[in-house]
Amino acid sequence: MATQPDDEYAEALQRAHTHATEWLHSVPNRRIGPSRTADELLEGFAVPLQDQPIDAASVVDELARLAEPGLMAMPSGRFFGWVIGGTLPASLGADWLVSAWDQNAAMRYATPATAAAEQAAGMWLLDLLGLPAGCDVGFTTGATGSNLVGLAAARQYVLEQAGWDLPAHGLAGSPGVTVFVGQDRHASVDLSLRYLGLAKPVEVATDAQGRLLPAALAAAMDASSGPAIVCLQAGNLHSGASDPLAEATAIAHAHGAWVHVDGAFGLWAAASPTHRYLVAGVETCDSWATDAHKTLNVPYDCGVAIVSRPDVVRSVFGVHTSYLKTEEHGPGDPFDKVPEFSRRARGVPVWAALRSLGRSGVVALVDRLVAHAQSFGTRLSRIPGVEVINDVVFTQVCVSFGSDERTRRITARLLSDGTTWMSGSRWADREVLRISVSNWMTDDDAVAQSVAAIERAIAAEDAR
C-alpha cells in the first residue's frame, strides 16, 4: 500500500545523497569553470519527451550525469566571481529538510514549525545586525526582491504622508515620488523602481569609492519637493564601501523622506565589532535589504527584507481573503511581508546557519572574508604592473593591469586557467578584475593559489 512511494522516495533520495556527496568532494579540486556550454548541454537535456514514466532514482541519476560537466564550482573557496556565497553544512542540511517537508510557508497556523523557525531567525538577524527589535523580517528570493519590498513600503508610506491613498487610487494622479540614489548603486535598485512604476531616480554624486556625497544629497533634496525616498547602499559592488548612512539618513529624514538601504552583502559589516564603523547609523534607516545567500553562506535562494514599520509593509503585501485565516496582530504571517503568496521555507536554512555559527561564528565569518580580501589587496599590489584601485575596506577588491586591453586579456587568461574565478568588470571608467571574497571555505591557501594563478596569467600575457 503506502510502501511503494516510500521506497521511491528512499531510492531517489539515496541517489541524490550519493551524487551530492560526489559533487561536494569534487569541488575543492575541480577546475572552477564549467567545461560545457548551455547549448552543448541542452542536447542531453532536451531529448524528445517520452511517453512513459521513468522511475525517480533513474531520473536523479540521469540529471546528475547530464549536469556534471556544466556545473560551475561556485561553492569553491577559490570562487570569487560576482558576489556569491557558498553553503554552510548546517544550512545545506536544513535546505534538504525544507524540500522534504514541503511546507508552503505562508501562514503561521498552517505551517507553525517553519513560521516559528523563520521568526526566530528574523529576531537573531535583527540582533546580530544591530537593527531595531520591532522590525518586520521577510524572506525573499534575494536582495532584488528585498529591495522591492523596502521600496514598495517606502512608496506607500511617503504617499500616505502626502495624503494619497495608494491602495485605493493607484499611482495615476498621485503627487508622485522622487527617489534619490547614489550614482554607483546596484542595477537591482533601478529594477525595483521599474516594477513599482516609479520614475528614473535622481542620481546623487559619489566619491572615488562610490560613496554618496551628503552635500550633494542635501542640495538635490533642497531643489526638490513632494514625497521622497532616499535609497542608500551598504557595500558597493566594486569597492565594498558603504554610503555615509548616518549623515545621509539625517538629511533624508529632515526632508521627510523614507530611507531604504541596499545592503545585499555590505549590511553584514554591522555584525562585526571591527567593521561596524562602515555602516555606522544603519539603525536609523527605515528599511533594509540583504542577502543570506551571499555573506551568510546559505544556499540559493535567500534574501532578507527588513522594514521598521510592520503596519506599512503588511498593508502593502498582506492578503485577506475568505479562505485564508490570517493573523491581524502580533508577529504577522510570513506572506504579509514578501511579494510571494506561496513559497518554500527559505528562512529555515538561515536559522540553521546562525545556530551552527553562533554569535562568535558570524563575527569570525565576516572578519575572515574581509581579512582574505585585504590579503588579496596586499599581495596583488606588490606585483609590478598591478594596481589595486579601491580601498579594500570590506570583501571587494578591484584590480587593473594597466590598459583596458591588457586587463581584459589577463582576465581571459586567468579564467581559462581554471584555478580561480573572478569577474571582469568596469568601474571608475576602467576595465577591472573584481574579486569578491564571500565564501566561508576560502582560506589562506585558496588566496595563495589564486594569486599564483594571476601571476601565471600576467607572465603568459607578457611572454606573448
Q: Give the binding site for ligand PLP (CB under 6 A).
A: 83, 142-144, 186, 188, 235, 237, 262, 264-265, 291, 303
Antiparallel, parallel or unpaired: β 287-291 and 202-204: unpaired
| Spatial distance between the Cα atoms of 14 and 10, rounded to a whole number of angstroms | 6
- Nearest one of 313, 309, 307 to 288, comparing CA atoms: 307
Amino acid found at 441: M
- As given in the structure block, the three cell numbers for residue 108 are 503561521
- As given in the structure block, the three cell numbers for residue 198 are 516609479
Antiparallel, parallel or unpaired: β 228-233 and 258-262: parallel
Phi-psi region of 311 (alpha: psi -120 to 50; beta: other; left: phi over 0): alpha
Nearer residue to ligand PLP within complex by CB, 111 or 439? 439
**Residue, CB closest to ligand PLP:** 142
Nearer residue to ligand PLP within complex by CB, 60 or 237? 237
- As given in the structure block, the three cell numbers for residue 33 are 569553470
Nearer residue to ligand PLP within complex by CB, 11 or 301? 301
Query: Is the bond into 301 cis (omega within 30 degrees of 0)?
Result: yes
Q: Length of the chain in residues, anyone? A: 464
User: 353 with 297: CB under 8 angstroms?
Assistant: yes
Cα-to-chain-centroid distance, residue 79:
16
Least CB distance to ligand PLP at residue 235 (A): 5
The secondary structure of 325-393, three-state, reads CCCCCCCCCHHHCCCCCCCCCCCHHHHHHHHHHHHHHHHHHHHHHHHHHHHHHHHHHCCCCCEECCCCC
- As given in the structure block, the three cell numbers for residue 464 are 606573448
| Spatial distance between the Cα atoms of 81 and 424, rounded to a whole number of angstroms | 9
Nearer residue to ligand PLP within complex by CB, 75 or 303? 303
DSSP character at residue 279:
G
Nearer residue to ligand PLP within complex by CB, 396 or 400? 396
Least CB distance to ligand PLP at residue 379 (A): 24
Least CB distance to ligand PLP at residue 3 (A): 42
User: 277 with 134: CB under 8 angstroms?
Assistant: no
Nearer residue to ligand PLP within complex by CB, 272 or 290? 290
Within 55-88, residue ranges assigned H as helices are 56-67
Triad 63, 69, 75: Cα angle to 5°: 90
Nearer residue to ligand PLP within complex by CB, 305 or 386? 305
For residue 315, give Cα distances in angstroms to 155, 160, 165, 320, 368.
12, 11, 11, 10, 40
Nearer residue to ligand PLP within complex by CB, 262 or 333? 262
Least CB distance to ligand PLP at residue 29 (A): 28
Give the helix/strand (H/E) hosting 27. none
